[in-house]
Amino acid sequence: MLGFQSARFVLSPHGLLPHQLHHHGYGHAHTFTILSAVNVDYPTCTGPTPTPKAHLTTRRSLLFLSTALSLPPPPSSAADPPVLDTTITDRVFLDFSICPTFFRVQPQVQDQGQDLPPCTDSEPMGRVVLGLYGKLVPITVSNFKAMCTGSAGSSYKNTLVHKVLPGQFLVAGRQGRREKGEVAPPSRLARNSEAVESRAFMLEHFRPGVVSLCLAENDDDDQIKLDPDYHNVEFLITTGPGPCPQLDGKNIVFGTVLEGMDAVRAIASTPTYKPGERIRQLNDLAELLGDERAQNARSLWNRPLKTIYISDCGELQVAKPSLSPSLP
């Protein structure tokens, strides 16, 4: 039959020793009792009691216990991702309006030094105030501010919101022909090296009001992109109600909406042009065949059916522009 037998051992600086050796000068240590299984022949009602045949603790058991006692603690979890400083260092504003009649950007008037209003009977939609993350992506923020103030040799003023994806985001700042309400290529902007830095792509488009520089979503004219002095200034604002994970890791988040989400939602609710399935198939075929007109046709998709444009923009001067990084 199966029984148990105990053996006492001492955990000392010299390893795991039998208890008897501990009394020969090995100093203070911890004593352990190990149970091992033995085969015991119990006595019957008649005859003498036989001597039990016990199998003492094996060397493998001692090795297992010694290893278990000396195992290091489990490794700590992977290193936490770097903390991103989303302190708001600057504020800018964008005034959005609707032109109900005819929208036309006039050539620059030399006497006045500014553009004439593209719409004489515009209807204001509201002002959107943006907070910018100047410590996280300083070059992107500096270039965006320059486009708002006009110091870049170009401006967002009197340019169209050319794309609205309902329930996702709106896009503005497309470069192209000025007379069509597109942004003139800026001439005084810094080269944006943040477009190749992985840290600049870590923030996510997880809620409405996220502002980011269009990279994957950019649809600037190809001729402008081929210019050696090309600078990307097209931007998007998420409109909600849900997140836009398809934008994560592909566009640089550099700010957030502080005021005016009602105006953003009003733009998002504007009807847009949506081509039929037949037109989409023909466009895909034309693109496959290398027809350049396919991309030009795609630029009209998701365009608002109402003329929405940035009627004014600039920087807001506040006493304390920096806000705590509580806004992602």
Beta carbons of 156 and 183 less than 8 angstroms apart: yes
Amino acid 313: pLDDT: 97
Please say whether the dihedral angle defined by the alpha carbons of residues 318, 202, 221 and 276, taken in this order, is positive or negative: negative
Token digits for 301?
């998709």
Beta carbons of 302 and 272 less than 8 angstroms apart: yes
More confident: 217 or 266: 266
Using alpha carbons, list the distances in angstroms from residue 283 to 60, 98, 124, 249, 263. Answer: 73, 30, 36, 28, 33
Beta carbons of 168 and 205 less than 8 angstroms apart: no
Q: What angle do CA 313, 314, 316 make, to 5 degrees?
A: 130
Count of other CB atoms within 10 angstroms of residue 178: 18
Instruction: Give the separation between CA 144 and CA 193, rounded to whole angstroms.
Output: 14
Amino acid 103: pLDDT: 82
Extended strands (E) in 166-293: 169-172, 210-213, 235-238, 252-259
88-105 residue pLDDT tens: 999 999 999 999 887 877
Amino acid 15: pLDDT: 54
Q: Answer whether 0.75 is exceeded by the pTM.
A: no
Domains of the chain: 2-66 (no CATH), 90-270+306-315 (2.40.100.10)
